[in-house]
Amino acid sequence: MSGNKRTPLYAVHKALGARMVPFGGWEMPVEYSGITKEHAAVRTAAGLFDVSHMGEFDIHGPEALDMIQHVTTNDASRLADGQAQYSAMAYAQGTVVDDILVYRHNAEHFMVVVNAANIRKDLEWINSHNRADATVEDITDRTALLALQGPKAIEILQPLTNLPLQNLAYYHFARAKVFNVDAIVSRTGYTGEDGFELYFAADQSELVWNRIIESGSRFGLVPAGLGARNTLRLEAKYLLYGNDIDGTTTLLEAGLGWIVKFDKPDFIGREALLQQKQDGLKRRLVGFEMLGKDIARDHYPAFVHGREAGHVTSGSPSITLKKNIGLVYLPTPNASIGTTFHVAVRSKLSEARVVRTPFYKREDHQ
């Protein structure tokens, strides 16, 4: 485990009996009471996740927006103050440097949130394409990030802040006191449920964590780990960098065309992605479910008409749906809804079917 970083809540996780695993260069809690329980709690009540391993960059200056527009594929000029956006950074060939969130504080101040394993790479990438000298500051180490997710999240958080949470729209955020701590309260998440992500000073981590746990106990709030975070995000078809997208897959193949805005000024990857759009996609990332009892896992090969045609990028039992689901890149002609193919599960080929995604969608979706 040596060499892995620890979040400020490491001792709290250990005291709660969490199983700690290395993840993206960090030692993180994978589960506390068990993935199944934690997953179900987030779908029916709420879960609290320490995701302080995520990277945050503060981007300042008159050139901040121009720089972000150049290195990201979504259109950050459409953001209002206090609004966030799912976006990506692409290589010139249209493949993925990272998928990110872009927060606009104001016209000259943005925050970019990146995947833990990509912090250094992303920082170098941004700095090397920072033509107009916007100020880029890595604030990861002094920033804690907690995700409070689930239908009860709003009731749990409201007593701890005077920010009227019902007025905070999806993918919007505000600066507010949470308890006595200055925080960015963001209505975002990675679980497919309503919820909030809180960014605040790392040295306040234990206080904020404990106050939320106290406030939430009567609502069924549980601490939740990266294990449940993964099964939850897969049901909602949120992609995971390193599994479903990486430097070898393009944003269009991954189904992320909706965050590629060809009508904005030039950005890195635009030409290649436009070309690919015109030429048509040779393969696509699609969701599938297993028709038998076998569980498809990450990296299992996929077979179409007896030939290896791709591999599972994320595969798991779906705790909510009681099915075995996954994501796979398939050749476009074999990727339409309802098509069957096979996944090599150890020594045998198990039948699977391409299905509509997300696998799970909450009913009160905003």
Partner 1 sequence: MTPDDLLFTKEHEWVRISGNTATIGISAHAQNELGDIVYIELPKPGMKYKSGESFGNVESVKAVSELFMPVSGEVLEINEELGASPEKINEDPYGAGWMIQIRLLNPDETSELMSSEEYDEQTKEKEE
Q: Which residues bind partner 1 (CB under 8 A)?
A: 19, 30-31, 34-37, 39, 227, 230-231, 293, 295, 297, 316-317, 319, 346
How many angstroms separate the CA atoms of 38 and 130, rounded? 41
**Shortest distance (Å) from residue 37 CB to partner 1:** 8
Q: Which is nearer to partner 1, 111 or 327 (CB)?
A: 327
Contacts of 343 (CB under 8 A, 6+ apart): 288, 290, 294, 296, 300, 301, 302, 303, 312, 315, 326, 328, 349, 350, 352
Contacts of 15 (CB under 8 A, 6+ apart): none
Q: Which is nearer to partner 1, 37 or 60 (CB)?
A: 37
How many angstroms separate the CA atoms of 193 and 362, rounded? 7
**Shortest distance (Å) from residue 16 CB to partner 1:** 15
**Shortest distance (Å) from residue 329 CB to partner 1:** 21
**Shortest distance (Å) from residue 360 CB to partner 1:** 15
Q: Compute the chain's Rg from CA coordinates.
A: 20
Q: For 121, list phi and psi in degrees, rounded to 5.
A: -60, -45
How many angstroms separate the CA atoms of 328 and 298, rounded? 9
Q: Which is nearer to partner 1, 293 or 305 (CB)?
A: 293
**Shortest distance (Å) from residue 71 CB to partner 1:** 34
Q: Give the alpha-carbon dihedral of 64, 67, 68, 71, to 10 degrees.
A: -160
Q: Which is nearer to partner 1, 316 or 357 (CB)?
A: 316
Q: Which is nearer to partner 1, 19 or 120 (CB)?
A: 19
Q: Which is nearer to partner 1, 50 or 294 (CB)?
A: 294
**Shortest distance (Å) from residue 343 CB to partner 1:** 13
Query: How many whole angstroms from its chain centre is CA 75?
Result: 19
How many angstroms separate the CA atoms of 221 and 193, rounded? 14
Q: Per DSSP, what are the bridge partners of residue 135?
A: 60
